[in-house]
Amino acid sequence: MTICDNLRTIGQRLRAAEARCHRPADSVQLLAVSKRHPVSALQAALACGQRAFGENYVQEMVEKAEALPGQGIEWHFIGPIQSNKTRLIAVTASWVHSVERLKIARRLSEQRPAAAPPLNICLQVNISAEDTKSGLIPAQVSALAHQVAALPGLQLRGLMCIPAPETDFSRQRVAFARLRQLQEQLVGEGLALDTLSMGMSGDMEAAVAEGATLVRIGTAIFGARE
Ligand SMILES: *Cc1c(COP(=O)(O)O)cnc(C)c1O
């Protein structure tokens, strides 16, 4: 299976999941998570039409962006953020899915180039309440969401989660439903949010069933990482 074959297969899985849930075709965007895969793998995906790529490491994203100029790539940063790396993210990325601190959000807003559109932001939520996972606890989300929504260089778009691994479909749905309900609460508080970044290779169908608008897929497109 080539990267193109894999992208086509994932696309078919997404379209089938949308149809089963009576959601419009193409309402779920595919983010190709290319972390720890070489530039050649991204070139293969670009050649079959993929434009949105997710990266976890700032330096790696910047190097890939420099190696692939002028291709209309939309870079999504999805990894942990250190405050000394915010400038590179603010300059390179179109989206950041892993914001969980006001200090980081303020720096991203200040460092976003004035000529660029606002940086699209999702707040990361620790939806399964795992000690080891990053992300906000649900009770902290509303306060930070309102603060981030007020920052001029940022556009708050929604929420992101990485639930605890779970193989059972209905149990997968429980975590995703919690994120959706949190999003609905924020919309009820007046925030205009349109993005639920949830679902990975093993649980994307459950995420689509609970309203995911973007799934983040690595292994099922590019194979195992080193
Ligand atoms: C690595 C990663 C993914 C992709 O995971 P796969 O299991 O390779 O599909 C998705 N989201 C985040 C935040 C990641 O770090």
Which tens digit of pLDDT belongs to each residue from 160-193?
A: 999 999 999 999 999 999 999 999 999 999 999 9
Mean pLDDT of 75-99: 98
Per-residue pLDDT, averaged over 100-118, amounts to 98
The CA distance from 13 to 169, in Å, is: 15
**pLDDT tens, position by position, 191-200:** 999 999 999 9
Q: Where do we find the tokens 């999805």?
A: 78
Average pLDDT on 75-96 reads: 98
- How far apart CA 29 and CA 186 sit, in angstroms, is 22
pLDDT given for residue 131 in this prediction = 76
What percent of the chain is predicted at pLDDT more than 70?
100
Q: What is the pLDDT of residue 189?
A: 98
First to last CA, the chain: 18
What integer pLDDT is reported at residue 115 of this predicted model? 97
Question: Rounded mean pLDDT of the chain?
Answer: 97
Q: Where along the chain do its domains lie? A: 3-222
Mean pLDDT of 70-91: 97
pLDDT at 132 over 80: no
| 143-158 average pLDDT score | 98
Quick one: angle between helices 138-149 and 169-188, nearest 10? 40
Question: Residue 129's pLDDT band (boundaries 50, 70, 90)?
Answer: confident
pTM above 0.95, yes or no: yes
DSSP 113: -
* 6, 12, 13, 16 alpha-carbon torsion, rounded to 10°: 180
Q: What is the mean predicted confidence (pLDDT) over 107-122?
A: 98
Say if residue 221 is exposed, middle or buried (CB neighbours under 10 Å; 0-12, 13-18, 19+): buried
Report the SS3 class of residue 216: strand
Q: What is the pLDDT of residues 4-30, one digit of tens each?
A: 999 999 999 999 999 999 999 999 999
Average pLDDT score over residue span 39-54: 98
CA distances from 94 to 58, 87, 89, 105 (A): 13, 13, 9, 14
Ligand 1 atom nearest the C-alpha of 162 is: 13
Which protein residue's CA is at the shortest distance from atom 10 of ligand 1?
A: 216
Q: Please compute the mean of the pLDDT values over residues 48-55 and round it to a whole number.
A: 98
Q: Cα torsion at 43, 7, 116, 140 (round to 10°)?
A: -130
pLDDT at 114: 96
Instruction: State in Å: Cα 200 to ligand 1 middle.
Output: 6
* Topology of the domain covering 3-222: TIM Barrel (3.20.20)
Whether the per-residue pLDDT at 1 is higher than 80: the answer is yes
DSSP state of 225: -
Task: Return the best residue to mutate from 13, 33, 99, 221 for the ligand 1 pocket (most ligand atoms within 8 A of CB).
Answer: 33
- According to DSSP, the residues that pair with 184 across neighbouring strands are none
Q: Take atom 12 of ligand 1 and give the residue whose Cα is closest.
A: 78
**Ligand 1 contacts CB of residue 111 (under 6 A):** no
Q: How far is CA 47 from the centre of its chain?
A: 22
Pocket test for ligand 1, best of 36, 57, 200, 219 (most atoms within 8 A of CB): 200
Closest by Cα among 60, 53, 64, 100 to 81:
100
Three-class DSSP category at 79: coil
Phi, psi for 97 (deg, rounded to 5) = -100, -5
Q: Tokens 């291709």 appear where?
A: 71
